[in-house]
């Protein structure tokens, strides 16, 4: 597609439930990133995929968070046993080079 | 503690005024990027600067990277209501970007 597509755009879930967030990057972009943005704060790095290399998971806040990227394209971020502090906007970005990310519109996750 | 400190956090000005947003760190970055984000959307890249002392101009926006590659500034001349948004700076660290908390700019007509 023309841009980075994320779904759903909004998700309300009950505490303790699992959620899956999807990211469809720009075709041909080898790098894919997940960031989290809490209200009034900057973007917090979560995970980075580059081609077929092992992902950089150094930003995942706990073992409840995991992500995969299938076939070097679509990525899914999974949060298990959601907590209220997981409420945030989850942003996905893709890039060809190091010097410019294209972000999706994000998924706004609300845990009630 | 933010690795990149942005100031001010919030700026409300009248149309036609000039403004400067600052992005400071004690760390050196390989590059510095500026993004603009509107409500409900993801950040959109404005510029990337990679050389210490570099200055880039995009119409009414002027971006500068500090000589030591630890800080940057964004200057807007004759601000317009369409400039309203969240401005984020981001520094290159390894394979990823580290973001500042952002500056919320509101330009009133």
The whole-angstrom distance between B86's CA and the closest CA on chain A is: 10
Chain B CB contacts of A101 below 8 Å: 33, 43, 45, 97
How far CA B91 is from CA of A12, A14, B96, B100, in Å, comes to: 32, 36, 8, 8
DSSP 3-state of A86: helix
Under an 8 A CB cutoff, do B99 and A50 touch?
no
pLDDT digits (tens, 9 = 90+) for B24-67: 999 999 889 999 999 899 999 999 999 999 999 999 999 999 99
Chain A CB contacts of B48 below 8 Å: 99-100
Alpha carbon A46 to its chain centroid, in Å, reads: 7
User: Which residue from A minimizes the CA distance to B97?
Assistant: A45
Residue B99 is nearest to which of A4, A43, A56, comparing CB atoms?
A43
Residue A99 is nearest to which of B6, B44, B48, comparing CB atoms?
B48
How many residues are present in chain A? Answer: 112
What is the token pair recorded at A47? 């995970």
Cα distance between residue A84 and residue A73, in whole Å:
30
Work out the widest C-alpha separation in chain B, in whole angstroms: 42
Q: Which domains does chain A have, with CATH numbers?
A: 5-111 (2.60.40.10)
pLDDT digits (tens, 9 = 90+) for A43-91: 999 999 998 889 999 999 999 999 999 887 999 999 999 999 999 999 9
**Burial class of B23 by CB neighbour count within 10 A (0 to 12, 13 to 18, 19+):** buried
Q: Which domains does chain B have, with CATH numbers?
A: 5-108 (2.60.40.10)
Q: Count A/B contacts: CB-CB distance under 8 Å.
A: 59
Chain A CB contacts of B40 below 8 Å: 105-106
Handedness of CA B68, B90, B103, B62 (dihedral sign): positive
> Quick one: what percent of chain A has pLDDT higher than 70?
97
Chain A CB contacts of B50 below 8 Å: 99
Contacts by A19-22, CB closer than 8 A, 24 or more apart: A19/A78, A19/A79, A19/A82, A19/A109, A20/A76, A20/A77, A20/A78, A21/A76, A21/A77, A21/A78, A21/A79, A21/A90, A21/A92, A21/A107, A21/A109, A22/A74, A22/A75, A22/A76
Check CB contact of B100 with chain A, cutoff 8 Å: yes
Asked if pLDDT for residue A96 goes beyond 90, the answer is no
């Amino acid at each position: 597609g023309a841009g980075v597509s994320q779904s759903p755009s909004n998700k309300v879930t009950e505490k303790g439930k699992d959620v899956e967030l999807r990211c469809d990057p720009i075709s041909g972009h080898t790098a894919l990133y997940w960031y989290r943005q809490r209200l009034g704060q900057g973007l917090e790095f979560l995970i980075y995929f580059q081609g077929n290399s092992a992902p950089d998971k150094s930003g995942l806040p706990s073992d409840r968070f995991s992500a995969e990227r299938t076939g070097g394209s679509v990525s899914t971020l999974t949060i298990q046993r959601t907590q209220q502090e997981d409420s945030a906007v989850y942003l996905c970005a893709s890039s060809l080079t190091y010097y410019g990310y294209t972000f999706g519109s994000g998924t706004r996750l609300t845990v009630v | 503690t933010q690795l990149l400190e942005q100031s001010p956090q919030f700026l409300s000005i009248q149309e036609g005024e000039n403004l400067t947003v600052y992005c400071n760190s004690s760390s050196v970055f390989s590059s510095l990027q500026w993004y603009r984000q509107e409500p409900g959307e993801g950040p959109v890249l404005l510029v990337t600067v990679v050389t210490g002392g570099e200055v880039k101009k995009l119409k009414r926006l002027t971006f500068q990277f500090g000589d030591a590659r630890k800080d940057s500034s964004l200057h807007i001349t004759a601000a317009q209501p369409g400039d309203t948004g969240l401005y984020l700076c981001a520094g290159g660290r390894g394979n990823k970007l580290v973001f500042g908390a952002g500056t919320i700019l509101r330009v009133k007509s």
